Amino acid sequence: MRYFIRLSYNGIRYHGWQIQKSGLTVEEILEKCLSHLLGKSIDLIGGGRTDKGVHAKEFFAHLDSEKQLDKKLVIKLNAFLPKDIVVYGFYLVAPQAHARHSANSRTYLYRISLSKKTFYTELSWQCKYEQLNIDLMNKASELLQKYNNFSSFCKDNISNCYAKIKYAHWCYKGGKLLFEIKANRFLRNMVRSLIGTLLNIGKEKININQFCEIVDAKDRQRSGPSVPARGLFLKKICYPKAIFL
């Protein structure tokens, strides 16, 4: 039987989701706890890869199990897991369902604290911007939907830099500047690089035409600096309802 597991995590002390040769990861800890509780080696397939220090409000992974996974296992698992990782449930899915490849879309949220906040140090980028042209930033964000190649914002040198952005928007809320973006897929470092470039528009260091030239250039050296990871959250992953049994 194949199950999806839904969880969230504070990524501040982790080197992302996926297991690496060096650095502690969320996948490593979760696999160890599940293997201990189920009495067998468990391999998880995540719904994506988050960079070092990036958080997830909602994350999915899948695993195969001969045993039925229920709420009792959720309670036991959370007792074993550290406080910065929480599991919410297991969901029986179709045998061919895949946590990464079956996803319809992913939504990321970035938080910028505009003043010093005691409790937001790990969960937002504290950066004081007194003057930002949010209207221009949103005009540029809307234009992203017209493009499908985002090589200019990808950290890796890969051939497939295609993505379809469905929504991207900036707003002020509760003393914070928030950016939300939804797409069918994201490239490594893409969101953080996009935000750094859009902030340059808000500071009027570049204009809309120059922003379009950066996208068209398909050259990572042309885009703005990547913003810090601590303000970035994977907010939601959407799947077809038909895969859930």
* 108 assigned binding-site residue: yes
d(CA 194, CA 152): 9
CB 243 within 8 A of CB 60: no
| Residues 115 and 192 grouped into a single domain | yes
DSSP letter string, 33-95:
HHHHHHTS----EES--PPTT-EEEEEEEEEE-SSPP-HHHHHHHHHHS-TTEEEEEEEEE-T
* 45-56 average pLDDT score: 93
Q: Are residues 24 and 66 in the same domain?
A: yes
Chain CA centroid to CA 199, Å:
19
The residue from 101, 127, 158 where one domain ends is: 101
**pLDDT more than 90, % of the chain:** 80
Mean pLDDT of the chain: 93
- DSSP codes joined into one string, 178-207: EEEEEES---TTHHHHHHHHHHHHHTTSS-
Q: Note the pLDDT tens digit of each residue in 129-170.
A: 768 999 999 999 999 999 999 999 987 766 788 999 999 999
Residues marked active site are found at 51
Q: CA 168, CA 175: separation in Å to the nearest integer?
A: 20
pLDDT at 190: 94
Q: Based on the fold, state whether residues 120 and 218 are members of the same structural domain.
A: yes
Written as one letter, the residue type at 154 is C
Same domain flag for 116 and 82: no
Report yes or no on 39 lying in a domain.
Answer: yes
112: its two tokens: 């910028």
- Could you tell me if 116 and 80 lie in one domain? no
